[in-house]
Amino acid sequence: MDLSQLAALSESDVERMGGATLFAHLGIDLFAIRNASKLEAINALSKKELLQLSPQDIERMGGAELFIKAGKRIRYKTFREVCDEYLSRWNKKDYKGQMQRVDYWCRLFGDRIMLYNCIQTLFVVWCRIFFDQTRIFFGFE
């Protein structure tokens, strides 16, 4: 298969052909092939240009995951990174339960970008209110 054919494969096509793991074992990076033009644009940015990107610019260019894949550091953290920091500092009981609650929210918001100046305030509020109350409020329990 050539690159254009690989880029055109749907997720169901990939699964029928053996899954993304098989492609990875064969040395084929489907993610990079599908996002080649975006990765080129990201790699063309200077360090100064990277620092000037807004969260909206980052999302428009493919999101934080794509920047990480390109090996570029951005000055924003994803929701998942903030959650990982939170769990690394968790020293109370029920670590397993807390990890499950964090995982639930990360599945919803994991790769969304958070502004540094909002992280601490949002995180304190989020941990106290959302973990225990939001799931019940929105009928997820």
Query: CB of 43 within 8 A of CB of 103?
Result: no
Count Cβ atoms within 10 A of the Cβ of residue 86 and give its class: 0-12 exposed, 13-18 middle, 19 or more buried: middle
Helix (H) or strand (E) holding 32: helix 30-34
pLDDT in tens, 104-128: 888 877 777 766 555 555 565 556 5
CA-derived radius of gyration, the chain? 18
Whole-number Å distance between alpha carbons of 20 and 30 = 8
Whole-number Å distance between alpha carbons of 122 and 116 = 10
Eight-class DSSP state of 76: S
Helix (H/G/I), strand (E/B), else coil: 78 = strand
pLDDT in tens, 35-79: 888 888 899 988 888 888 888 888 888 887 788 788 887 777 777
Reply yes or no on whether the pLDDT at 136 is more than 60: no
What pLDDT score does 27 carry?
85
Q: What is the pTM of this model?
A: 0.51
CA-based nearest residue to 13, from 22, 32, 39: 22
Provide the mean pLDDT of the chain. 76
- 55 phi, psi to nearest 5 deg: -60, -35
Fill in the amino acid letter for 13: D
Whole-number Å distance between alpha carbons of 80 and 104 = 11
